[in-house]
A and B are shown apart, each in its own frame.
Chain A
C-alpha cells in the first residue's frame, strides 16, 4: 500500500512491555479513514496492550505510533479520538447520571473552566438515542445493567463526533438486539469516513462491518488481511489459548474497579 494515503492510526513495528516483560513485539497496524479494522486475538494475546499503546496510555519500547499522521508525543487533537476502554462498568464512587458520563466525552472540546453547554447535552441526548438509552439519560449509571453501562461508554466515545473510534471489547455483555443496533450505528459512522479500530476476541456480531482483521498471537501479528482469509480456528470463538499454555503472555492486570490504574 502506498504510504501517501492518509491514515487515522498507524503503528509501525511497535514493541510494548508490561512490568519489564515484552508483551507486544513488532506489531504493524494501520487504520484509514472510513475503514473498520478488528484487532483479534485470544485472551492474553496482547491486543488490549496494542490499543492502549496506540492511544498513548502505554509507552512503546520501540517503533512509533502516528495518529492522523502526527507522532503520538506531538499529537494534541484528542477531540478527534473516541475511546471505549475495557472496563467492568461505568460507575464510580459517587453517583453520576448516564447523561453526565456521556457529556464528559466532549471534554476534549472544552476549555478550562468551561462547563458543559446546551449543545453538549443535546449531542449526548442524540448519542444516547443511537445506543438505545434515550429514556435512561437521567438514571444513575450504577443502576444500569452491565450491557447498558457498556452502551453508555460507547455513547461517551461517540459524543465528540470522533474521526477515529478505538474500542476495547465494547460489546461484551451487550444483548444481541442492542449489538445489532450498534452495528448499524458503526456502519453509519464508517460510511461517513470515521476510522474504527475494534478489539475483540471473536469477529462476532460486528463481523459484517469488518474491512480488515489483524490477528494477534502471543504479541505478534499472526494474520493481517480480509476477514475471509482468517485461519478457520481463529474466526470463531478463540477464547482458548492456541498452545494450551495457560498464559505465556499475560494481559495487563485488569483495572477491576480502580479508576487510578
Chain B
C-alpha cells in the first residue's frame, strides 16, 4: 500500500486531503452550532459561479472561486442580519443563483457544463504543486482563526445576544465565520468537490457529537474524524479505483452510521443517571 507514496500526485492528494479534512470540520463545528449546517453547501453552489468566472476570464478557478464565495457568504450573512431573511431562504437564494450563474458563465466561456465536473465532485489526484500551496495557505488561515478564536466564536454561536452584551462584536464574528466557511469550501473544492463539501464540514461534526458532551471534544474529534475519512477515502479510491470525493464522503457517513447507535446507547445510559 505504501507504493502510493511513490507517486507525486498521490503525495499531493494525501496532503490536500489531510488539510481539508482538518480545516473543514473546524469551521463546520461553528456552522452546526449556529444551525447553519447547509451554509457550506450554499457557498459551494456560489463558488461554482466563481469557478466558471475563472474559466471565462482565463484566471485560476481556485482564486476566482474564493473571491466569489467570500462575497456570496457575506451577502447571505448581511441578508440574515439586516433584512430578517431566514437562514433557509437565504440559503435557497444562494443555491439557485450559484448554479444558474455557474452554468451560464461556463456556456459563455464556450465550454460544456461537463467541464465543471472536476469542481463539482473533486479531482484530488490532479492537484498541482501550485494548487497545494494555495490550499495549504488558506487551510492554515482557517485553522489559526477557528482554533485561536474559539472562545469568541463559541460564545457568538452559542448565544449571540449574550455575546453582544459581553462586548463581543458578534456581527463581525458572524461575518468572519461566513468568510472562513467560504474559504474552506473553496479549499475543499479539489478534494470532495463543491457538491459534497458540506459533507466534510458537517458529517464529522455530526459523528463526533454522537459521542461527546463538550464543545471542545466535539471540535477536536470532528477534526480527527475529518482527517481520517479524507485520508482513508484517498487511499481507498486509489486501491479500488473509485472517485475520491464521493469515497471520502461515504467513509465519513459510514463513521456516522457506526457512531449514531453507540451515541444513542450512551445518551440513554446517561439520561438514566440524571436525577
Q: Are the C-beta atoms of A138 and B213 separated by less than 8 Å?
A: yes
Pick from B35, B163, B209: contact of A95, CB under 8 Å: B209
Closest Cβ of chain B: how far from A141's Cβ, in Å? 9
A166–B158 Cα distance when bound, in Å, is 19
A64 interfacial contact with B, CB 8 Å: no
A260–B156 Cα distance when bound, in Å, is 9
Cβ-Cβ contact count across A and B, 8 Å cutoff:
126
B166 interfacial contact with A, CB 8 Å: yes
Pick from B160, B162, B174, B214: contact of A100, CB under 8 Å: B214
Q: Are the C-beta atoms of A57 and B151 separated by less than 8 Å?
A: no
Q: Are the C-beta atoms of A76 and B167 separated by less than 8 Å?
A: yes
Most buried by A among B160, B167, B168: B167
Given that A57-B161, A85-B161, A92-B157 are contacting pairs, would A105 and B166 also be in contact in the complex, using a CB cutoff of 8 Å? yes
A232 interfacial contact with B, CB 8 Å: no
A9 interfacial contact with B, CB 8 Å: no
Spot the interface stretch: B26-34, B124-132, B185-193. B26-34
Q: Are the C-beta atoms of A93 and B164 separated by less than 8 Å?
A: no
Q: Are the C-beta atoms of A259 and B165 separated by less than 8 Å?
A: no
A93–B205 Cα distance when bound, in Å, is 10
Residue in chain B with minimal CB distance to A157: B162
Spot the interface stretch: A23-31, A109-117, A204-212, A236-244. A109-117
Contacts of B155 in A (CB 8 A): 104, 107
Q: Are the C-beta atoms of A93 and B32 separated by less than 8 Å?
A: yes
A201 interfacial contact with B, CB 8 Å: no
A110–B163 Cα distance when bound, in Å, is 13
Residue in chain A with minimal CB distance to B216: A100
Q: Are the C-beta atoms of A97 and B215 separated by less than 8 Å?
A: yes
A92–B205 Cα distance when bound, in Å, is 13
Pick from A83, A115, A156, A259: contact of B151, CB under 8 Å: A115
A156–B154 Cα distance when bound, in Å, is 14
Contacts of B167 in A (CB 8 A): 76, 78-79, 107-108
Pick from A52, A92, A139, A261: contact of B33, CB under 8 Å: A92
A63 interfacial contact with B, CB 8 Å: no
Closest Cβ of chain B: how far from A188's Cβ, in Å? 22
Given that A107-B166, A143-B274 are contacting pairs, would A93 and B33 also be in contact in the complex, using a CB cutoff of 8 Å? yes
B20 interfacial contact with A, CB 8 Å: no
Question: Which A residues from 91 to 137 make CB contacts under 8 A with B?
Answer: 92-97, 100-101, 104-105, 107-108, 110, 112-116
Pick from A138, A143, A261: contact of B214, CB under 8 Å: A138
Contacts of A143 in B (CB 8 A): 213, 267, 270-271, 274
Q: Are the C-beta atoms of B151 and A104 separated by less than 8 Å?
A: yes
Q: Are the C-beta atoms of A259 and B159 separated by less than 8 Å?
A: yes
Contacts of B93 in A (CB 8 A): none
Contacts of B81 in A (CB 8 A): 260
Given that A56-B165, A258-B35 are contacting pairs, would A94 and B218 also be in contact in the complex, using a CB cutoff of 8 Å? yes
Question: Which B residues from 30 to 75 make CB contacts under 8 A with A?
Answer: 32-35, 37
Q: Are the C-beta atoms of B158 and A96 separated by less than 8 Å?
A: yes
A56–B170 Cα distance when bound, in Å, is 12
B148 interfacial contact with A, CB 8 Å: yes
B212 interfacial contact with A, CB 8 Å: yes
Pick from B158, B166, B274: contact of A92, CB under 8 Å: B158
Pick from B29, B32, B164, B267: contact of A57, CB under 8 Å: B164
A170–B16 Cα distance when bound, in Å, is 49
Q: Are the C-beta atoms of A83 and B162 separated by less than 8 Å?
A: yes
A129–B155 Cα distance when bound, in Å, is 22
Pick from B87, B151, B214: contact of A258, CB under 8 Å: B87
Question: Which A residues from 185 to 244 make CB contacts under 8 A with B?
Answer: none
Residue in chain B with minimal CB distance to A255: B161
Contacts of B163 in A (CB 8 A): 104, 107
Q: Are the C-beta atoms of A55 and B165 separated by less than 8 Å?
A: yes
A47 interfacial contact with B, CB 8 Å: no
Residue in chain A with minimal CB distance to B271: A143
15 more A-B residue pairs beyond the given contacts A93-B32, A97-B213, A100-B215, with a C-beta to C-beta distance below 8 A: A78-B165, A78-B167, A94-B32, A94-B205, A96-B215, A104-B162, A104-B163, A107-B168, A112-B149, A143-B270, A143-B271, A255-B161, A258-B35, A260-B34, A260-B87
- A-B contact list, 7 entries, CB within 8 Å: A79-B167, A90-B159, A94-B157, A95-B213, A104-B151, A107-B155, A153-B162
Query: Taking beta carbons and an 8 Å cutoff, which residues of A are in contact with B?
Result: 52, 55-57, 76, 78-79, 81, 83, 85, 87, 90, 92-97, 100-101, 104-105, 107-108, 110, 112-116, 138-140, 143, 153, 156, 160, 166, 255, 257-261
